Homo-oligomer: A and B are copies of this chain.
Amino acid sequence: MLPSGEITDVQIENGRFSKIGKCETTVIPESIEKIDCTNKALIPPFYNTHTHAGMTLLRGYADDMPLFEWLSEHIWPMEAKLNGEDIYLGTKLAIVEMLKSGTVFFNDMYWYVPHLVKAVEEFGIRAAIGCPVMDRNAEISLPMAAEFIAEYRNNPLIQITVAPHAVYTCSEKNLRACAELARKNDVFLHIHISETEQENADCIKATGLTPVQYLKKIGVLDCKVIAAHCIYANDEDVKTLAECGTVISHCPTSNRKLASGLFPMSIFRKYNCKVTLGTDGCSSNNNLDMREEAKIASLLAISQGGATAMPVKNMLQIATRAGAEAFGINAGEIAVGREADALIIDLRDERMVPLYNLASNWIYSAGHNCIESVLVKGEFVMKNRIVPHADEVIDEVRRRFNRANWC
């Protein structure tokens, strides 16, 4: 079954959907793999547009506290103890979790880029990997970002981005340098914008402008920008973001869990801004489940705009195709010509019945365990719920990071 409800055959060639419709021959050559999808649906997978995969190692490490205390007293000190091998392991754990919950792409921002690349390539997931820049490391991180962009330019699964952390951790000089690097290389610039009221207040005090207007003024928004959060963007800011073609990564769970604030979805929809969905790092979520994220995003949008404010098909589109297209990936829907990223889900799962509306059952009701298989460019990255090497990753994390052996 397709998302439209149509029951038909789907053909994949060279990593793309090449034909959708009843197969006219009963004799299919042995060389072609046939997958029986009786009682199953083939649906688009998720594209997670903001996360810090390595932070999966910090799941549950510090909960129930506000953002600045959480960051400065717990997360940053703990992160300072992590090395490249740790981040490689944490990223692998994140990838296992993402594949098992139907995500085929993540837009990341974290240290140790080559380790992230290695993890991504091992599992065959897609990623945009941000080279983080903060004032404290810009002298090293900026030239490194330039190197990584060159090194991984033609990687089929990966795009490198320049990732200045935020206006409160990067000077104007460094922000301008990041923008120049991104523009020159035609890569994305990935940044947190207006995540807290404090960030806005401090920026206005220092520059006279909101973070959005400040970034516009200094040329950052002239790049291809992916901006996480934007919950304190005002009407004028959202209009600016829309005009600049900035892609927004809405991260509702993290915003709620850190009590940062509420994303003004209705304003973003009013200006037709490019809204996509992200989980943020799972230390402030505490998982990477885009289905759960989409449900929570829907409930919050409804609570602001009324029961009709976010039809489930729109939310599904935000969590799938919008994310893919924002990053120039020609995927995110089951359609001829699109790259064959897809989920095979079990329609006999107790939460998928009865079936009046597939999108509704999928977003509002299902659990990630009804995903049987995950395809990236027509290749299985999870088959019958098996992600190769997942158990080894989990055992290693348990051995090295469970509290008994750690604190």
CB neighbors of B among A346-388 (8 A) = 347-351, 353-357, 360-361, 364-369
Chain B residues within an 8 Å CB radius of A23: none
State whether B365 touches A60 (Cβ < 8 A). yes
* Cβ contact within 8 Å between A302 and B350: no
Is A292 located at the chain interface by the 8 A CB criterion? yes
Say whether A303 contacts B350, CB under 8 Å. Answer: no
A391–B361 CA distance with the chains assembled, in angstroms: 18
- Which of A114-122, A219-227, A236-244, A253-261 forms part of the interface with chain B? A253-261
Contact of A287 among B65, B306, B364, B401 (CB under 8 A): B364
What distance in Å separates the Cβ of A39 from its nearest Cβ neighbour in chain B? 8
Indicate if A300 sits at the interface (CB-CB under 8 A): yes
Q: Within 8 Å of chain B (Cβ to Cβ): is A84? A: no
A60, B356: Cβ atoms closer than 8 Å: yes
Within 8 A of B (CB), among A266-311: 282, 285-287, 289, 292, 295-296, 298-300, 302-303, 306-311
Among the 9-residue stretches A11-19, A92-100, A141-149, A174-182, the one with 4 or more Cβ atoms under 8 Å from chain B is A92-100
Q: How many angstroms between the C-alpha atoms of A309 and B387 in the bound complex?
A: 38
Considering the chains assembled together, what is the distance between the CA atoms of A361 and B59 in angstroms? Answer: 7
Q: 7 shortest A-B CB distances, which residue pairs?
A: A354-B401, A369-B369, A60-B360, A256-B299, A259-B307, A286-B364, A66-B307
Known: A57-B354, A286-B360, A287-B365. 5 other contacts (CB 8 A): A60-B354, A60-B360, A64-B310, A64-B312, A93-B350
A sample of 22 cross-chain residue pairs with beta-carbon separation below 8 angstroms, ordered by A number, consists of A5-B403, A60-B354, A61-B354, A63-B311, A66-B306, A66-B307, A67-B307, A93-B350, A97-B351, A257-B298, A257-B302, A282-B365, A285-B365, A286-B365, A287-B366, A347-B398, A348-B398, A353-B397, A354-B402, A354-B403, A355-B403, A356-B406
